[in-house]
Structure 1
Amino acid sequence: MASKMQGSAEFDERFLTCPVCLLHFRDPRVLPCLHTFCRECLQEWATKQQPLECPTCRTQVSLPDQGVDGLRTNFYVNNLLDFAAVKKGAGPGVPCQVCEGREEGARSWCVQCAVLLCESCTITHRRFPAMKGHQIVTQETLEASGGVPSSFQRKAFCPKHEDQVLTFYCEPCQTLVCVACTVVDHPRGDEHNPVEIGAVAERKKRHLQELLGNIQPRGREVEAALCDVKREISELPTSANAAIAQATAYFDQLMALLRDRKEEVVEEIGSRCRGVGKCLETEKEEIEFELAGLTSAFEFCKQTLAHGSDVHVIEIEGQARQRVEELLTASTKEVPTNLTARPSQVVFSEGTAVVEFRDDVARAGRVEVQVKVKVDASKCSVEIKPALPGFSNVCLLDTNGQISSELKDDVTVTLSDPSGQAVPTQLRGKGRGLWGISYTPEVRGNHRLEVNVNGRPVAGSPYDVSVQWSHSPHGEGELSYPTDLAVDMDGNIAVLEQGSKRVQIFDAKTGQSLRCFPVDGRCLFAIDIDSNGQFIVTSGHPFYSTQAIRVYSREGKLTKTLKPDCLSDPFGVAVLQDGRMVVADGTQKSCLLLQPDGSLIREIGKGQLQYPQFIAVDESRDLVFVTDWGAHKVFVFDLEGKLKFKFGKEGWNEGELQCPAGITLDPSGNMIVVNRDNCFLQVFGPDGTYLRTVAVVRERSHGIALTPDGHIAVACHSGQCIEFYKY
């Protein structure tokens, strides 16, 4: 309101008018909802309803103990009212309110006294010692000002000491006080701490500025929502007209079908009537002909009996008998006496009963109001993963639980390769407000992904999608048959490549290769990182007699090679904080707990494990977790070698294990396990209870690791890549 008032040369009456009485504010008071009304209007309003509701926004208001009188005064509105009165009263012909016009017209205004003064009275006013601090606003200042001058403010006086201005603020009491109050009622001490209002006001102004900063983003959201609603309101007649046009066309088609059917039936009735009539006319003629023959024979016989002589009767009787027998024989063969074999009338039969058709008509067409859930783009996010050229990749759009059956109509996705060519994308729902954006890049390099919801970009859009890792085992940034991975102390991904015989470090967020170093040995299998950031790599095969555990510095230099006699076929490895290691040995069908120098401490799982593969350790509980390909189970031992429990059912369904490979633990103690054969990446509780399936990964996936930002990294051996899944 202030900005609008100060930006105009003339006052807008609605800023000075009470919404209840529609007059200028009288003693304006502010409700907790920040709407202002006259004190008397609020008092009258409060007597009419309990609890009190704001007349403008209908918010329920709890009045202070003093009632309406306890509400805060809107000093800003008072200033506006004063200024409006001064602007109006400073015009020509307005008398001085002190000398009542005995001198020349009014020329200035005393803010404290709230009176118009002529020039003489102004000089006299300034001479009084008690009025030396009063603020005088001249006519020139009033006329030159396009709005309310910043210095034009009515002084606030103490309600207890009416001649004292409020100049202090007691923070414990949260009350404005005057100088007299600081001596009598609010002396500085343990219970009171009056401070000058200037410092307090500056702090409060900063708080108000913060509130403005908080309001503006929400205001923009509400304005955007208002624009959406206005747009939908403007589009509503169009959609209604379209629906009317569709309904009209639909029922016109139904009525046209009924008219056509009616004409067909009426025409068929006429045709059938003509056919039956022709049949009946033919039958009529035959019957009339037969009747004429019978009548003629009857009359002949009758006349012969009545008038013929005996000679005549004897002569004619034979001929008469023959004729009558012919007539009677023809009647028996050709015309049935009951007349059931001939068509007699045309009737109409209802194919569908009127009652049934009425029900069908009632179901013909349905009017619905589509409720379209609008997804807020500011609350959406997109998870970007590095991609392989030539392979399908999926980015995950998270609508933060906002589920919309019409989401595909609201979302636009554009993916461009480094040259600007568009890459086809598909949007598929994954449930729970998640949508997959799938695509298959063809070239390497940074791609650009733009995701808009309801015409607004999702936070962070456009995104850079790195397409860098390929099948080629030669270049840096490319992978060749990765078998295992680990997260280093900086949160980067260290990948052990069996094909290129090296360890390559990648930035987990961007997929960019940071560095790499070669490693020795054949049949590289597992990698882990100790508390000093050194890389521990297992390699070897009993047929080649190259089994070893090698330790590389953070810079990638080989520091030592361990070849203990107890080691035959090393697979997974996990390093403890004190440097001890747990290594799975396939030939010995056990796990070896080793000292940092490689000497054996004890065997774990001997006689219980069949083909141990990968290992995870929870030192807080002294537990070792081992995946077993042969048993299709996960075994859990303590570091003393005692079996705590095991779980797993062999199968190809969710919750079952089929050659379990990589394993890792989350902060809650849940186990994340990937199956090499059925490809399920699954989560099990600390007791081995199946919780959920995260994803279906590529075949022959080996080691896995949980990244600091909550993704599961999977080493896809046959896919020659690392895939990331949101956990």
Structure 2
Amino acid sequence: MASNPEFRRVVNYTDLEVLLECPLCLDRFDQPRLIPCGHSYCTKCLNELCAGSDTIICPQCRQHHDVPTTGVTLFPRNLSYQQLLDIRTEQLVSTRQCQVCNKKHAFSDCLHCHKAVCLDCKKLHRQELATVTSALLTDLEKSSDLCKDALNMEVTTFLMHCDTVKKQISTYAKELIDLIKQQEKELKNDLNKMITQQLDASKKVLTQFEKNKEEIDHFVRLSKQKIERNESILDEKYIEIQNTATKHLTTLQNVVTTLKTKRKDISFTPIHLRQDNLGELNLISPISSLDQHVSLLISIDDNNNNLQQLVPPSGIRQVGQWGNGPLEFWCPSGLTITRNNEHLIVVDSWNHRLQMLTIDGQYIRSTSGKKGRGFEELNNPRDVCINKSNQWIIVSDSGNHRLVVYDINNFQVERLIGEHDSQINLHYPFGICCDDDDLLYICDRGNNRIIVIRFNDGILIRQWGRKGIQHGEFDAPDFICCRQNILAVSDFNNHRIQVFTLNGEFLFTFGKLGSSDTGEFRYPRGIAIDDEGFFMVADWVNNRLQLFTPTGELSAIVSDKNSESLNDELALLKVEFDRPIGLTVSSQGVVFVTEWGRSHRIIIY
């Protein structure tokens, strides 16, 4: 027994006891580990020594060593010390009886069955441990293959699912394309019917004109023959020829006017964000009472000229046309006047930009006009306002669900408000205005509510509204205006105006669906309040502006001169609008109106 080397390891431990103490904790080693300099410490002591640092300093030699990224457990175990520790443990338990054979003294605890065993039983247990370990390795090898097969199956299943999604996308796209093509076909059929109707109306006028022309040509031919033959013609005869010629000119004037009055142009208005409706066709007048008029040459004395020329109404002018250059617009929307009354800021919606004009309509500058979600880009902006200090321009970037703040001096973007802000959560913001306390009031159209944001830091102050028809409820709130503690909102799909205090307290409402001259609307849009508290509303589909008293009573109407139902007592001014949308009034009472229809311009009167 004494000659057995393994037995000597058990009993010869006394002189080695000093080596089993950790230099840090002065206790027996607990899982000793070697650091690069060759010294050993307990695993727990090394953790405390590095204390979260990426380097460790050896307490014995003061050398610096890098700590592995996953911790001190990557330092190697000191197997020699561990064996010495095992010797000490075996010596302490060597007086125990073997729990397997119950004949010999126990040599150590078996790591497999955790029983105290003698040397012979330990050898047998090692053989069992080798057998179990081999079986485990065999199971691991099989499990590895099974895991590989399972992973491959998972990837295959995922790819099959992705193929199904691709087919769903293709099917949906095909259905959508078919739907759009069907709508295109129906719209073109409707267009052809409208064209036929308009051509029929024009042909009737042209037929009448041919009859009149034969009569006029006959009169002109006979009259010229008399004058060329130098026949003795009394002065009275010349006057008679002049009067007849004047009557024929009046007839020509009336024919042209009748043709342009009866014939209508056809416009197409796209409807965005709708899969079931591409847009609508509308009949609009081809005559603009502002920039076009019939001018037939008259060579007789003005004293005998009784023709009524069609000219633009006095004091009314237009700015802009369709395009993407300076003073050109594509569906201009909201507009505002700077607080010093020197400049006009216009939202050029489908050109994705702002334009700054002088108050009399001269171009100054514009933003980049790039469509996108970037810091300097816009996506279908809708309205604009100026803050209290007249330093910042705030625009509702509707397609990007945010507000964009520009420096008024250089048109550079200063900051964004509401983007990725879960508290505000804008959804297609439209109308916007700013009060004297620098609070922003926004029509959050997609959420059917009004929200109030502090301009300086973008903090949400209050909000109210939901979808509905009751007081304080909205169906697509569109434009908004505030003045003297009054807040007016155009409730688009409810065809009305709602009036609140700046704190959101409901005051009253006016308007309902219709086209009569009794204060009815068809989709009200832009709204303004003048210095006397009168409300001016852009009645979009009815192509007119309506003026209401501070209590919501209809006061006047601005409409085209061909309106047959307009009460003369309400006719403030005759102007032919083409989808008026944006609206603002200067402190001098000058009205600025943007048109969304085919004219793409600003009306000033």
TM-score, normalising length from structure 1? Answer: 0.36
Point out which structure has higher relative CO (alpha carbons under 8 A, 6+ apart).
Answer: 2
TM-score, normalising length from structure 2? Answer: 0.43
User: Is the radius of gyration larger for structure 1 or structure 2?
Assistant: 1
